A and B are shown apart, each in its own frame.
Chain A
Amino acid sequence: MTTTPKTITEGEHPILDYIRRDRLPHIFCSACGIGTVLNAFANALRSLNYDIDRLVVISGIGCTGRASGYFAADGYHTTHGRAIAFASGVKVANPDLNPVVISGDGDLFAIGGNHFIHAARRNVDMLVLCINNFNYGMTGGQMGPTTPDSAITVTSPDGNIEHPFNLVSVAAASGAVFVARWTALHARRLTKSIEKALQKKGFKFIEVISPCPTLYDRYNRHGSGLDVMKKYRELSVIRNFTDPMKAEIDYRTRIVCGEFVDTEKPEFTDLLAKQAETLQQR
């Protein structure tokens, strides 16, 4: 039996101007955090009155890989791990465009890890939003480069023995000019960080810790997605400008969130343009 809840009215959700309505509801599981990040990103676009015509949303493969298909802007869904390489091509070929990469931890840091560190090193202007759910969701919950110590996944059935990446530390060490971490619970702080990053030039990185209630959090007996979000509330501490190396993620003790890096560095396409201008005047 279904009934219409009493609270329904005719109003439109304010972010829908930024979303491909004909693709909703989206494919993400109940209580998955990816939707919350898409919501935060759309909210940031709305509050900045962002020029959608110049935005290109790019993603790789996996659950988060589907993100690029939900925005009412130009979007491209690359092969696995290649979103950042694609974004570099977009930005260098047409510096008026603003590429935003939204992808997962496995896509960006395992198969795409090399592209990540080199785009950050070059400081190519793009925002990279990494939704970290500690496993490969789309393929059924395998371990990946962020899977914590001793966590159970279908390819680490006896407990993960690999040392995981600390993504904010990798980003900072590679040269990103803006580095932040939030959880899906911090929707509004995340929105503010996205707003800040979108207004900044250079390689910007935001990690968002997200529940994967269907796979990772189920295998590890973390309860429902809601339970995981409650746990984030309990564990997360905000330490802006802490050393990213010390910004730990430990589901037993604490998750350090905040904006860790916010610095200035000459941007790659600006440098290319400057050099080309000098050469052309000769």
Chain B
Amino acid sequence: MLTRQERSPIVPEEETTTKYEIVVNEDWCKGCGFCYTFCPREVLEKSTTFNSKGYYPPEATNIDRCVGCGLCEAICPDFAIHVEEKKTKTTTKRGRK
């Protein structure tokens, strides 16, 4: 049980929401398919268009599902994909009534 003094007051707080963006370097991609095959959240898909070498790079068709685990970035043999974190701050009301 919280004591009276420890109870938090009802004040507005800033809340950070994190979104992710997938960056693909199309020129370096060799279309191995590791990223979209092993993505645990099925964020990525094979692109329908090919790059200058004829490889099909990945496409982040379900970016909202991305939790930023970074597996695609770690497993890519060509340093052609990485995840960027985009933090946005919003003011919300929090606390106990």
Contact = CB atoms under 8 A, between A and B. Distances in A.
Interface in B18-74: 21-28, 30-34, 37-38, 47, 49-52, 55, 57-60, 63, 70-71, 73-74
Nearest to B52: A2
B15 interface: no
A14 B79 CA distance: 9
Contacts of A9: 21, 23, 84
Interface string A164-204: 00000000000000000000110110010000000000000
B63 to A, nearest CB: 8
B78 interface: yes
Given A2-B52, A226-B33, A7 B22 contact: yes
A30 B23 contact: no
Contacts, number: 109
Given A226-B37, A230-B37, A43 B23 contact: no
Contact of A187 (B22, B24, B57, B71): B71
Interface stretch (A31-39, A98-106, A135-143): A31-39
B49 A36 contact: no
B57 to A, nearest CB: 5
Contacts of A24: 28, 79
B82 A11 contact: yes
13 contacts: A3-B49, A4-B26, A9-B21, A11-B21, A13-B23, A13-B25, A16-B79, A36-B76, A184-B77, A187-B71, A188-B74, A226-B32, A233-B38
Contacts of A3: 49
Contacts of A26: 78
A173 to B, nearest CB: 31
Contact of A2 (B24, B31, B51, B75): B51
Nearest to B21: A9
Given A8-B25, A188-B74, 14 more contacts: A1-B49, A2-B50, A7-B60, A11-B82, A13-B73, A14-B82, A24-B79, A25-B27, A26-B78, A35-B79, A42-B79, A226-B37, A229-B37, A230-B37
B79 A19 contact: yes
A247 B22 CA distance: 37
Contacts of A185: 38, 75
Instruction: Name the 10 nearest CB pairs between A and B, nearest first.
Output: A35-B77, A30-B30, A31-B32, A187-B74, A3-B49, A11-B23, A187-B75, A226-B33, A36-B77, A25-B28
Contacts of A226: 32-34, 37
A108 B18 CA distance: 45
